[in-house]
Amino acid sequence: MSGRIAVLMPGQGSQFVGMGWDLAEAYPEVRRLYERADEILGVPMSEICWEGPEERLRRTENAQPAILTHSYAVWSVLPAEVRTSVVVAAGHSLGEFSAYLAADSLDFEDALRVVRRRGELMADSGDERPGGMAAIMGLDPAAVEELCASVEEGTVVPANYNAPGQIVISGDAEAVARVQDLAAEAGSRVIPLNVSGAFHSPLMEVAREGLQEALESVEIRDPSFPVVANVSAEAVTDSATARENLVAQLTSPVRWVDGVGAMLAHEPDRWLEVGPGRVLAGLLRRIDRTQKGEAVGDPTAVEALQAKKSKMSGES
């Protein structure tokens, strides 16, 4: 049923009010996981996820632990045969922490505390040095890089190489606005993003020390399967490199297109997006039309995997 599985873990922006409620209703272990999250963080994370309001859930310090908890909740109820068939994983930005959690590199409590702290640091960085982000559609990477380099006042850089023709820029608000104008003049469709800071840019430098301290305070083990890093687009199999990359990720671009290429080298038969939404499944299709991702984020999707497992077991 499973074959060789690649797992994709979503990042910030995939959150929605009500996320995880249906899983908690269907699986007692998921409800207990959310109760643990409330206790660990000392905030009503389950209430924030299930009831919102949206503005509260969208706050960086809440969205990041909310997404990690949802992804791990789904992962924890997947059939064992699926989990043991994973040959490679990757997560988009925050999702990289979820990937290491699934790979047993991190304990849930440690991962939750670290991503909560990461969210706080990133939000504080946005307050200290306000910035912005925007998606540039229809231009190739070299063209976007050239536009960013042409802006002399302020900092603006490519932050997410999400898919062919979809690159997110990040930096000082005025510099981002200037690149948006230039991209529009070049025929690009430009989408300003509703974010609290200039993520994956040099403006996040002030958050690095705090995140490094948070990561040094927890145990990180070698992952049980390779995790492709956002920073290098290379498969990571040791804890030291994982720790280093998770810090560097703050100020470095997410090389998602190259990362999917590295995952393809592991020859997966199947791609599962584990967590809220289906953004990464959509990006996968844009990167390689021969591949198809399955979004697994609710009881119906989990039960479909279980049903396939049972069917295959009956046939064997």
Which active-site residues does the annotation give? 93, 200
| Helix, strand, coil share of the chain (percent; to 5) | 55, 15, 30
User: What interhelical angle do 60-77 and 28-41 show, nearest 10?
Assistant: 150
CA distances 84 to 2, 3, 5, 99, Å, are: 9, 10, 9, 14
Q: How many helices (H) and strands (E) does the chain have?
A: 15, 10
d(CA 74, CA 302): 8
- Determine whether 294 is exposed, middle or buried from the number of CB atoms within 10 Å of its CB (0-12, 13-18, 19+): middle
- Determine whether 313 is exposed, middle or buried from the number of CB atoms within 10 Å of its CB (0-12, 13-18, 19+): exposed
d(CA 87, CA 18): 31
